[in-house]
A and B are shown apart, each in its own frame.
Chain A
Amino acid sequence: MTKEEILHLGELSRIRLTEGELEKYQTEISSILDYVGQVQEIVSDVKSVTATGPVFNIFREDQVTNEPGAYTKDLVEAFPERQDGLLRVKKILNPDS
Chain B
Amino acid sequence: MTITELRKKFITGEYTPLQAWEDVMNNISEKDGDIHAYLDVYKDTKKEAEEATKRYATEGEKAPALLGIPLAIKNNILIKDRKATGASKILENYTASYDATIIEKLRTAGAILIGATNMDEFAMGGSTENSAFGPTKNPRDLSRVPGGSSGGSAAAVAMGSVPASLGTDTGGSIRQPASYCGLVGFKPTYGAVSRFGLMAMGSSLDQAGPITNSVADAELLFNIIAGTDGKDMTTISADTYPQADLKKTYTFGVPRAFLQSGVDQDVLEKFNDHIKELEAAGHQVIDIDLPLFEAGLAAYYIVMPAEVSSNLARFDGIRYGVRKSGEDLLETYLNSRAEGFGTEVKRRILLGTYVLSSGYYDAFYGKAEMVRTLMREELKNIFTKIDFVLTPTAPTPAFKLGEKEDPLSVYRQDIFTVPVNLTGVPAISIPMGEVERESVSLPVGVQYIATHGAEAQLFDIGKRVYDKI
A and B assemble together: yes
| Chain A interface (Cβ < 8 Å from any Cβ of B) | 6, 9-10, 12-18, 21, 24-25, 28-29, 31-33, 35-40, 42-43, 46, 49-60, 71, 74-75, 77-81, 87, 89-92, 94
* B window 312-365: CB within 8 A of A: 313, 316-323, 325-335, 337-338, 341, 343, 346-347, 349-351, 353-355, 357, 363-364
Given A15-B341, A31-B408, A39 and B367 contact (CB-CB distance below 8 Å): yes
Q: Which of A13, A36, A52 contacts B302 (CB 8 A)?
A: A36
Asked if B215 CB lies within 8 Å of chain A CBs, one says: no
Total contacts A-B at CB 8 Å:
176
B413 to chain A minimum Cβ distance, whole angstroms, is 14
B116 to chain A minimum Cβ distance, whole angstroms, is 17
Asked if B424 CB lies within 8 Å of chain A CBs, one says: yes
Top 9 closest pairs, chain A to chain B, by CB = A80-B323, A60-B230, A78-B320, A16-B338, A74-B97, A16-B334, A14-B333, A58-B233, A39-B367
Asked if B244 CB lies within 8 Å of chain A CBs, one says: no
- Give the docked Cα–Cα distance between A6 and B370 (Å): 27
Given A15-B346, A16-B334, A90 and B328 contact (CB-CB distance below 8 Å): yes
Given A15-B334, A71-B97, A90-B325, A54 and B236 contact (CB-CB distance below 8 Å): yes
Asked if B191 CB lies within 8 Å of chain A CBs, one says: yes
Asked if B369 CB lies within 8 Å of chain A CBs, one says: yes
A21 to chain B minimum Cβ distance, whole angstroms, is 7
A7 to chain B minimum Cβ distance, whole angstroms, is 10
Asked if B74 CB lies within 8 Å of chain A CBs, one says: no
Asked if B4 CB lies within 8 Å of chain A CBs, one says: no
Asked if B240 CB lies within 8 Å of chain A CBs, one says: yes
Are B370 and A43 neighbours in the complex by a CB distance under 8 Å?
A: yes
Q: Can you spell out 29 A-B residue pairs with CB atoms less than 8 angstroms apart?
A: A6-B350, A9-B357, A10-B350, A21-B343, A25-B347, A29-B354, A35-B301, A36-B368, A37-B364, A39-B302, A40-B363, A42-B295, A51-B373, A53-B373, A54-B424, A55-B204, A56-B240, A58-B232, A58-B233, A58-B234, A60-B230, A71-B98, A78-B94, A79-B320, A80-B320, A87-B319, A90-B329, A92-B328, A94-B328
Extra contacts besides A16-B338, A39-B298 (20): CB < 8 Å: A10-B350, A12-B353, A13-B346, A14-B333, A15-B346, A16-B335, A29-B350, A35-B408, A36-B301, A37-B364, A38-B295, A51-B373, A53-B424, A54-B241, A56-B191, A57-B233, A71-B97, A78-B97, A80-B322, A89-B329
Asked if B372 CB lies within 8 Å of chain A CBs, one says: yes
- Count contacts on B: residues with CB < 8 A to the other chain: 74
Give the interface centre of A12, A43, A79 by most chain B CB atoms within 10 Å: A43
Q: Which residues of B contact A94 (CB under 8 A)?
A: 327-328
- Give the docked Cα–Cα distance between A24 and B352 (Å): 17
Q: Which residues of B contact A42 (CB under 8 A)?
A: 292, 295, 367, 371, 374
Chain B residue nearest to A28 in the complex (CB): B407
- Give the docked Cα–Cα distance between A21 and B342 (Å): 11
Interface string of B23-55 (1 = CB under 8 A from A): 000000000000000000000000000000000
B256 to chain A minimum Cβ distance, whole angstroms, is 20
Asked if B195 CB lies within 8 Å of chain A CBs, one says: no
Are B329 and A92 neighbours in the complex by a CB distance under 8 Å?
A: yes
Asked if B228 CB lies within 8 Å of chain A CBs, one says: yes
Are B97 and A75 neighbours in the complex by a CB distance under 8 Å?
A: yes
Interface SS of chain B: helix
Asked if B150 CB lies within 8 Å of chain A CBs, one says: no
Q: Which residues of A contact B161 (CB under 8 A)?
A: none
A90 to chain B minimum Cβ distance, whole angstroms, is 5
A10 to chain B minimum Cβ distance, whole angstroms, is 7
Are B316 and A9 neighbours in the complex by a CB distance under 8 Å?
A: no
Asked if B175 CB lies within 8 Å of chain A CBs, one says: no
B335 to chain A minimum Cβ distance, whole angstroms, is 6
Given A38-B298, A58-B228, A89-B318, A78 and B95 contact (CB-CB distance below 8 Å): yes
Q: Which residues of A contact B234 (CB under 8 A)?
A: 55-56, 58
- Give the docked Cα–Cα distance between A78 and B322 (Å): 10
Are A14 and B347 neighbours in the complex by a CB distance under 8 Å?
A: no
Are B370 and A46 neighbours in the complex by a CB distance under 8 Å?
A: yes
Q: Which residues of B contact A81 (CB under 8 A)?
A: 323, 325
Q: Which residues of A contact B94 (CB under 8 A)?
A: 78
Are B367 and A40 neighbours in the complex by a CB distance under 8 Å?
A: yes
Asked if B130 CB lies within 8 Å of chain A CBs, one says: no
B114 to chain A minimum Cβ distance, whole angstroms, is 23
A46 to chain B minimum Cβ distance, whole angstroms, is 6
Chain A residue nearest to B424 in the complex (CB): A54
- Give the docked Cα–Cα distance between A80 and B92 (Å): 12
A32 to chain B minimum Cβ distance, whole angstroms, is 6
- Give the docked Cα–Cα distance between A51 and B367 (Å): 10
Q: Which residues of B contact A57 (CB under 8 A)?
A: 233
- Give the docked Cα–Cα distance between A15 and B344 (Å): 13
Q: Which of B190, B374, B407 contacts A43 (CB 8 A)?
A: B374
